[in-house]
Amino acid sequence: MNSGQSQNNDLREIKSMMEKSTRFLSLSGLSSISAGIIALLGAVAGFLIMDDGSGEFIDRVNLESPFNYDIRFWYLLADALLVLLLASAFGFYFSWRKAKRLNLAFWNHTARRTIYFFAVPMIVGGMFTIILLVRNDVTLVASSMLVFYGLSLFCASKYTFGEIRYMGLSEILLGILAGIFTSCSLIFWALGFGILHVIYGIILYKKYA
């Protein structure tokens, strides 16, 4: 091996070490795929809950007083919380398994920093969504969830794979469309949290395993 090849190998090794220390590489494409499948199942359940032939969720809401909702709204809320719980559990498992397989530290400074930048917009978005529910303005709930989730991905992308940035921007775009076309908000929700997760999960899995 000549000196040029040796230097190239050294540079690759240094680059690899820097990436491991500054980027959260344990994120698994399977986490995104599983989250997308769970979200799609949740969306199907949501459509079944809403289905009376009209397709208008707002018709199911009593706007006279805060939280005076049709019982089907609470079914939808339980459905969304179950999707969040299952997606988070599978996401944690697949990322932990990848870290173990690659002999990477799963919970380190980079992971904490990634979660911090992801969590801040998510917490703000959750608070804003609660405000919408208290005010009985449910038509923008799906939109706000998509927009703030997209912002979370965009902020966290600096410390993980670059593809996450474009996924975040796509979620924001779908959230804006859900805010404009409110009667189709559940469809945009399914596209953002379901289809988009599966697509980007496949990309991440093929590229980073």
Range of the domain at 158: 25-208
In this prediction, residue 53 carries a pLDDT of 53
Query: Could you tell me which of 130, 187, 193 has the C-alpha nearest to residue 167?
Result: 193
**Stated pTM of the model:** 0.78
Residue 79 backbone phi and psi in degrees, to 5: -60, -45
Total number of domains in the chain: 1
| Spatial distance between the Cα atoms of 75 and 4, rounded to a whole number of angstroms | 64
Residue 16 structure tokens = 């690899």
Any domain includes 52: yes
Any domain includes 1: no
Q: What are the residues whose beta carbons fall under 8 Å from the beta carbon of 141, sequence distance 6 or more?
A: 129, 132, 133, 185
Query: Could you tell me which of 102, 49, 52 has the C-alpha nearest to residue 77?
Result: 49
Any domain includes 63: yes
pLDDT greater than 70 at residue 33: yes
72 or 126, which is more confident: 126
| Spatial distance between the Cα atoms of 40 and 46, rounded to a whole number of angstroms | 10
- Averaged over 33-47, what is the pLDDT? 91
Span of 48-62, 102-116, 195-209 with lowest mean pLDDT: 48-62
pLDDT greater than 90 at residue 49: no
Extended beta strands in 23-118, E state: none
Q: What are the residues whose beta carbons fall under 8 Å from the beta carbon of 112, sequence distance 6 or more?
A: none
Any domain includes 192: yes
pLDDT greater than 70 at residue 55: no
Any domain includes 4: no
